[in-house]
Amino acid sequence: MSDILEDNELEKKTKKKSDQSKLKARLRDLEFFTEVIPDGVVIINNQLIVEATNESAQSLLGLPEDSTGKSFEEFVKVARLNSYVRGDSQQEPLEFTSPVQKDSTLEARLFNVDKETKVVIVRDITTLNRLLTMRQSFVANVSHELRTPLTVVKGYLETMVDESAPQDLRLSLIKKLKAPVNRMESLVQDLLLLTQLESNPVPPEMDKIDMTELIQSAYNEVQGLLGEKGFLVINNNSDAKIKGISAELSSVCINLISNAIRYSPDGANIEVSWAKTEQGKARLAVQDRGLGIAKEHLDRITERFYRVDMKDSRARGGTGLGLAIVKHVLRRHNSELQVKSRVGEGSLFFCDFEIVQ
């Protein structure tokens, strides 16, 4: 009888041991899991005493490694977060400024594990917020850019259908419709191009491009913009070929040359050149003697819809997307747009490419 009891006891002990080692193994897995995830995890009890943290939580909230057993509030001096973790898990996530990096925004979510234990998950939402703001301002910009020519078209149409308006005025408005309609068309084209550049991967095999041909056809396309006395000099000092996407490089040439013309007084000279650099690369350069750009704007002119002078640029027929397109295209060609400019003296836009044989 006592033998059987002993056997049972032994069985129970062995089972307990194996349960404990299973639990330990699970805890190790869990610990490993919480260490590899980028979100911060803090386990606290009802008195807000820290039971466990992972590395991300320590760096996001500035918690010391040995915070276990101590009060959460002792280390995290964010009043809103502390009152949030005191609440229950039904609440909405909480957004707050990082106590470690003032320009970062964090989000906390609270979960009740059981009556005693809570888990706080913290993540950095700075980039997400920035993207959301960018998207909102992009949509607002596009709507604004379209609304202006649309209002003009609407105004003209109202007069055109008004039978009491003089006949010659009504007829003359037909011609005037062209400008705002063209403007909307350019904007839609530029938007489509930008979207394509962002969504299409760079093809694995690029074409061999003769830039002198592309420069010449860009010149033919923008010639109409040049005032009567204007001068556009093309210096093809090199027959260097590069690898690239013809349509995209063509839009780089057209955008840079048309900007040079639009931001120069009538009759000013523009110089476009294609030449080898001392570093053995090929350089496309567009030099104008126009308005120039003040230093504080130079870093921002490739942002979508950024203009030095909003009204003036629109009046000159820009969409505000030209240099954003140029920047994207060049990035896809392992190149970068560089600018040297002085207000009242003019600007030099240039970019270098690897030469291929």
Closest contact distance (angstroms) between CB of 232 and ligand ADP is: 13
Consecutive H or E run containing 303: none
Query: Structure tokens of 19?
Result: 């349960």
Quickly count: other Cβ atoms within 10 Å of residue 57's Cβ: 23
| CB nearer to ligand ADP: pick between 81 and 351 | 351
How far apart, in whole angstroms, are the C-alpha atoms of residue 299 and residue 332? 20
Closest contact distance (angstroms) between CB of 288 and ligand ADP is: 5
Nearest to 232 by CA among 289, 291, 284: 289
Closest contact distance (angstroms) between CB of 256 and ligand ADP is: 8
| CB nearer to ligand ADP: pick between 122 and 256 | 256
Closest contact distance (angstroms) between CB of 135 and ligand ADP is: 19
Q: Which residues pair with 123 in a beta bridge?
A: 107
Contacts for 184-189: CB closer than 8 Å, 24+ residues apart: 184/146, 184/149, 184/150, 186/317, 186/319, 187/142, 187/145, 187/146, 187/319, 187/321
How far apart, in whole angstroms, are the C-alpha atoms of residue 312 and residue 151? 19
| CB nearer to ligand ADP: pick between 252 and 324 | 324
SS3 158: helix
Closest contact distance (angstroms) between CB of 260 and ligand ADP is: 5
Closest contact distance (angstroms) between CB of 83 and ligand ADP is: 47
Q: How many residues does the chain have?
A: 357
Report yes or no: 280 and 305 within 8 Å, Cβ to Cβ: no
Closest contact distance (angstroms) between CB of 195 and ligand ADP is: 16
Closest contact distance (angstroms) between CB of 323 and ligand ADP is: 3
| CB nearer to ligand ADP: pick between 41 and 191 | 191
Contacting residues toward ligand ADP, per CB under 6 A: 255, 259-260, 263, 288, 290-291, 293, 301, 307-308, 313, 318-324, 347
Report yes or no: 274 and 249 within 8 Å, Cβ to Cβ: no
| CB nearer to ligand ADP: pick between 94 and 326 | 326
The 3 state secondary structure assigned to 37-66 is CCCEEEEEECCCEEEEECHHHHHHHCCCCC
| CB nearer to ligand ADP: pick between 72 and 349 | 349
| CB nearer to ligand ADP: pick between 149 and 290 | 290
| CB nearer to ligand ADP: pick between 40 and 320 | 320
Residue nearest to ligand ADP (CB): 318
Report yes or no: 215 and 237 within 8 Å, Cβ to Cβ: no
